[in-house]
């Protein structure tokens, strides 16, 4: 007997991951958790993409409004190194981009752990929403908890709204691309059949 004959609708099919027919009961079931290693790896990749998008948003905003597009990258280098000479150097924007991608990948790994252990598998748009909230929380914690504690004399960027927007864009990319990378093996195996 084929699986389709045995289970007449998609809600009863065990190969689809649905445990019960009633949508309310399905909603109340705990979410299926992705494997931790797969989730972290996909979130690290998505974090790098999100970090590039975040950097692009910051560079664009500073180019448009203050005519100093590389200022956020130079301030990142200054905050990490403490050296004004390095922050003013020609290599500072490249070093700032590398630091930004490293931070974004590490925070992406944290997001992957959270998704794998707490939140569970989500559709792409729901993951983008969770990622946006995560990006906003990263900004709040970074600006108002970590930065004042570890670098009390650090220069804060003058336009916090663009910095918050850049973090939200980072989080949305993290959620979208993280869920896409996590789903990629299933999409590729489906296409090969």
Query: Do 26 and 70 fall into the same domain?
Result: no
Assess whether 7 and 62 both reside in one domain: no
Do 62 and 150 belong together in one domain? yes
18/45 same-domain check: no
Q: Which two tokens stand for residue 6?
A: 């045995």
Identify whether residues 149 and 82 lie together within a single domain: yes
Same domain for 17 and 71, yes or no, is no
Same domain (yes/no): 39, 84: yes
Looking at the fold, whether 64 and 157 belong to one and the same domain comes out as: yes
Q: How many domains does the chain have?
A: 2
104-154 confidence digits (pLDDT tens): 999 999 998 888 777 777 777 888 899 999 999 999 998 888 877 776 666
Tell me the C-alpha to C-alpha distance, in Å, between residue 125 and each of 36, 64, 139, 174.
Answer: 21, 30, 21, 11
Q: Are residues 14 and 102 in the same domain?
A: no
Distances (CA, A) of 161 to 36, 84, 104, 156: 34, 26, 19, 12
Q: Say whether both 45 and 90 belong to one domain.
A: yes
Mean pLDDT within 84-103: 91
pLDDT higher for 101 or 17? 101
The pLDDT confidence band at residue 53, using thresholds 50, 70 and 90, is very high
Domain that holds residue 5: 1-30
């Amino acid at each position: 007997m084929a699986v389709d004959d045995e289970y007449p609708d998609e809600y009863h099919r065990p190969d689809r991951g649905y445990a019960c027919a009633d949508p309310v009961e399905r909603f109340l079931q705990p979410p299926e958790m992705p494997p931790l290693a797969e989730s972290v790896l996909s979130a690290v990749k998505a974090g790098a993409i999100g970090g590039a998008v975040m950097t692009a948003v910051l560079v664009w905003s500073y180019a448009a409004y203050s005519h100093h597009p590389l200022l956020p990258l130079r301030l990142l280098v200054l905050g990490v190194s403490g050296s004004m000479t390095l922050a003013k150097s020609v290599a500072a924007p490249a070093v700032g981009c590398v630091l930004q991608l490293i931070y974004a990948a590490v925070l992406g790994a944290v997001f992957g752990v959270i998704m794998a252990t707490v939140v569970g598998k989500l559709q792409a748009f729901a993951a983008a929403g969770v990622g946006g909230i995560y990006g906003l929380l990263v900004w709040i914690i970074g600006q108002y908890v970590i930065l004042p504690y570890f670098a009390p004399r650090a220069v804060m960027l003058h336009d916090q709204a663009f910095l918050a927007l850049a973090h939200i864009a980072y989080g949305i990319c993290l959620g979208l691309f993280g869920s896409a990378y996590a789903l990629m093996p299933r999409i590729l195996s489906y296409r090969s059949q």
